[in-house]
Amino acid sequence: MADIQGHCPACGWSTLFVGDGGYLTCSRLECPQPDAAHRILADRETDHIVQFDDEGFTIRHPLRERLDDALMRCDLHLYCASLPGPPQPPGRYRAVARDGDWLFQRFDVQVADGDA
């Protein structure tokens, strides 16, 4: 069992370790989600995900935008707000930047066990 430099994304404590099977885990008993670091790092999505509905949209930015304040410079929110309405049909889309524009690719969401 090796200690990890860094902080648990669920509780903020520096109590991460590599557990059995290589799972990154928080050892703090009061941690609300000891497997948060593992679950975050296990997500292979590297693009923006946009959920459009009749009321508006929600964006899930890729983790890399947490580095160097890139999230603060991301123009996807302004782009989505400027659209005349949601893509048809409303739903979940992967947003990919291409040549100064954003392309939206609809995809079906697979709900993992325990996420429903």
* Per-residue pLDDT reduced to its tens digit, 3-56: 689 999 999 999 999 988 999 999 999 999 999 999 999 999 999 999 999 889
Residue 112 domain-assigned? no
Is residue 25 within 8 A of residue 19, CB to CB? The reply is: yes
Is residue 39 within 8 A of residue 25, CB to CB? The reply is: no
How far is 62 from 14, CA to CA, in rounded Å? 23
Residue 20 domain-assigned? yes
Q: What's the pTM value of the predicted model, to 2 decimals?
A: 0.79
Q: How many CB atoms lie within 10 A of CB 26?
A: 27
- pLDDT bucket at 107, cuts 50 / 70 / 90: confident
Domain membership of residue 6 as a residue range: 2-42
94 and 78 in a single domain? The answer is yes
61 and 89 in a single domain? The answer is yes
Split into its structural domains, the chain has a count of: 2
Q: How many CB atoms lie within 10 A of CB 48?
A: 21
